[in-house]
Structure 1
Amino acid sequence: MKSPEDHRPTTPSYRAEHQRDVVNRLKRIEGQVRGLIDMVESGRSCEDVAQQMAAARKAMDKAFYRMMACSVMEAVTESASEDDALREVERSTRILEKYA
């Protein structure tokens, strides 16, 4: 019979998948920021620019939360004991409280 650990995602591939996701999100945000620069330089309305800035900010927040989800998953899957897992989840919670 398989233990519960056998059903956990393997950390290297799980981490690599999350890293790719976060990098792709950041590249899209980079494109949004370049578009914002073009909008400002071409004299687009403040409301148009503000709308796109809000979209870029929201995209950055989503990338941040996706990265933090990976941190929590690693804490749970890599910890040697339940106490270690709880400590790592608490550490991730403090990061969220500080930067979110």
Structure 2
Amino acid sequence: MATAKSKPATSSTPAPSSASVYRSEHQRDVINRLKRIEGQVRGLIDMVEKGRPCEDVAQQMSAARKAMDKAFYRMMACSVMEAVSVSESEDVTMREVERSTRILEKYA
């Protein structure tokens, strides 16, 4: 019995651009940071429920707040880098950098 040769499977989706790979990597980084912060906040709840000293709780709150700030700045840096890497013109790049600057001024 003769068998038909099958063609190698080809993907109909184009290969991801370097910008989308970059974005995906940094989204994972930000998500991982947020998951760690989530664990810190759960630990804080446990500390308060167990009546831990105020200074201990304050120290952990400070650590969680700083971790949140770092996640925010990482997200903003990724936003700027992505805008620059996919920009079609200098004008578009400048608009995107300005947009990111306004976000930083408003929320940082």
Compute the TM-score of the two structures, normalised by the length of structure 2: 0.83
Q: Percent identity?
A: 83
1:37-63 Cα shifts (integer Å, max 9, x gaps) = 000000000000000000000000000
RMSD value, Cα: 0.9
Query: Greater helix share, 1 or 2?
Result: 1
Structure 2 gap segments, 5+ residues each: 1-16
Q: C-alpha distance in 1, partners of 2:95/2:73?
A: 19
In the alignment, the residues of structure 2 paired with residue 99 and residue 36 of structure 1 have an alpha-carbon distance, to the nearest angstrom, of 24
Give 1:73 deviation, angstroms.
0.6
- Alignment-derived partner of residue 55 in structure 1: 63
Match of 1:88 among 77, 96, 100: 96
Gaps of 5+ in 1: 1-8
TM score, norm. by length of structure 1: 0.90
Are 1:17 and 2:17 matched, yes or no?
Answer: no
CA distance in 2, matches of 1:50, 1:68: 27
Within 1, Cα distance between the matches of 2:86 and 2:20?
Answer: 11
